[in-house]
Amino acid sequence: MQEKYDIVIVGSGVTGLYAALQFSSDVNVLVLTKEQKAISNSSLAQGGVAAVLDSSDDSFDLHIYDTLVAGGQKNNLQAVQTLIREGPEDVRKIMEMGFNYDKNEDGSPRKTLEGGHSRRRIVHHKDSTGDNIIATLLKQVEKHKNVEISEHSVVSSMNREENGFRLDLIINKTDKKSVFTNYCLIATGGIGRVYKYTTNPTVATGDGIRLAYEVGADIKNLSCIQFHPTVFSASSEGERFLISEAVRGEGAQLLNCDKERFMQKYDKRMELAPRDVVSRSIILESRLKNSDNFYLDIRFKSEDFIRKRFPGITKGCLENGVDITKELIPVFPCQHYLMGGIDTNLNGETSVKGLFAAGECAHTGVHGCNRLASNSLLEALVFGRRSAQEIQKRLNQNDKSIAPYKCEPKDGNKDLPTGLDDEIRSIMQEAFFVLPNDEKIESGFDRAKQIRQILKDGDYKKTIEYCEVLSLATVATIILGEIYEKQKALGKV
């Protein structure tokens, strides 16, 4: 790893990898990833990527309409139009790169339906679309000699310099190094680990949002969190196994503790209502029935269809003791996606000069208050590309070089107190899970803020654990602060 780069991309999901492929061969690109390069939120995306690839039974206007309805009409219309009109070309590009999408007998994409969509427009690879796209992009990145990927590399801090940024890194848990760059693109994905229960991997601790916040970038609508309604209900905390929206898209029915359908009481779209509607309905039904036991039933489909259409879900459920071809799937909502984040324009530019953000960690307003199913991978492609193109344009116009200099990032002497991460997760789970808990918001906000200050003021060793807990505390403070102000304005706290 050298000391100076034209562009550093923090994150190796679809956003980061697709962005890296957009630069000319004379641009030095460094992609940083916390774990192995294939581990990201993107790699866990099951359902697919939504795009209008033909107009025989679909249109841009219909996809735009569905996105706005799912988002509660709170979307940035220009961002939505950009996503849906430009997205199909990006999907075609990854198809050309080798994305192994499921096909009909005539070779056309076999499209599925998910909640909130009025047409079958989701292109997929079985039930592991994200993993296949990541593998496709990694193969392409390996061909680009100007792109370097550094695994097991955590950004502990980011500092603004005259013509760019200095990023202090922790590599392979103990080694420390600083790199310099003219431009930085944050593509670190979600914040799921701020909750006890999430579909996100262990790397999703909101690091990019914390880094951007610390250098003064605007953060917007961080409390706009999507709770996926159908996640495998297990007793253990941490990462939960997602039961894709596509299962309901193929007709699976949602049942309460009495094994009865109930969505008709809450929304005429029933199981195919947008995710926020279904999640709220489950919570209301759980309060009505005084039970958290809910199920998905797809047993009416043939065993052969289920195993071929959903091999990953079938296997995952079997590993948890459930044969979905013969048994009900136990489900319950949990944290899944972030609609808010680092505020950007449609080219990924933040309020800090030279700093860009794209993908789940960014806020363009494209999702409004709830993301339409399978628009996330489309967002990663479109806004990852647009960010890279804007940075490339600026590199072409300005030959500003940032001079590396020898520096030793300051470190502390004290060990991190144990249990702070678990305390933050408990606070979030109690104060804001699907619906705000008015009795817990203010005290939760105050404690999260206090934990963050303790971490900032204390002379703690700058370990990976310290960085992650600081990220969690920062994210929790911003989220609960937004919720507190909203509830206060409504006279609820």
121, 166, 275, 385: the active-site residue: 275
pLDDT in tens, 271-283: 989 888 999 999 9
Q: How far apart are CA 229 and CA 116, in angstroms?
A: 13
What lies within 8 Å, CB to CB, of 274 at 6+ separation is 69, 70, 115, 116, 370, 372, 373
Into which CATH architecture does domain 4-223+339-397 fall?
Answer: 3-Layer(bba) Sandwich (3.50)
pLDDT at 292 (0 to 100)? 92
Length in residues, the chain: 493
What lies within 8 Å, CB to CB, of 230 at 6+ separation is 242, 243, 244, 245, 247, 248, 254, 278, 296, 329, 331, 333
Give the side-chain half-sphere CA count within 13 A for 442. Answer: 7
Q: Please state the rounded mean pLDDT for residues 464-482.
A: 97
pLDDT at residue 42 above 90? no
pLDDT in tens, 294-312: 999 999 999 999 999 999 8
pLDDT at 141 (0 to 100)? 95
pLDDT at 184 (0 to 100)? 97
pLDDT at 269 (0 to 100)? 92
Q: How far apart are CA 171 and CA 179, in angstroms?
A: 12
To the nearest 10 degrees (0 to 180), the angle between helices 420-431 and 464-489 is 20
pLDDT at 46 (0 to 100)? 72
Q: How far apart are CA 209 and CA 219, in angstroms?
A: 8
Q: Is 275 a catalytic residue?
A: yes
pLDDT in tens, 81-92: 999 999 999 999
Domains 4-223+339-397 and 229-333 share a fold: no
Domain ranges of the chain: 4-223+339-397, 229-333, 420-489
Q: How far apart are CA 369 and CA 251, in angstroms?
A: 26
pLDDT at 400 (0 to 100)? 64
Q: Please state the rounded mean pLDDT for residues 6-30.
A: 96
pLDDT at residue 170 above 80? yes
pLDDT in tens, 308-350: 999 989 999 999 899 999 999 999 999 999 999 999 999 999 9
CA 414 to chain centre: 33
pLDDT at 43 (0 to 100)? 67
Enter the CATH code of domain 229-333. Answer: 3.90.700.10
Token pair of 301 as six digits:
């489909």
Cβ neighbours, 10 Å, residue 435: 12
pLDDT at residue 467 above 90? yes
Among 125, 188, 111, which Cα is nearest to 357's? 188
Residue 162's pLDDT band (boundaries 50, 70, 90)?
Answer: confident
pLDDT in tens, 371-413: 998 999 999 999 999 999 999 999 999 766 766 766 666 778 8
| Cβ proximity of 466 and 416 under 8 Å | yes
pLDDT at 403 (0 to 100)? 65
pLDDT > 70: percent of the chain: 96
pLDDT > 90: percent of the chain: 80
H helices within 71-224, ranges in order?
A: 77-97, 129-142, 207-214
pLDDT at 229 (0 to 100)? 93
The torsion defined by the Cα of 305, 310, 314 and 315, in degrees rounded to 10, comes to 130
- The rounded radius of gyration (Å) of the Cα atoms in the chain is 22
Q: Please state the rounded mean pLDDT for residues 193-199.
A: 92
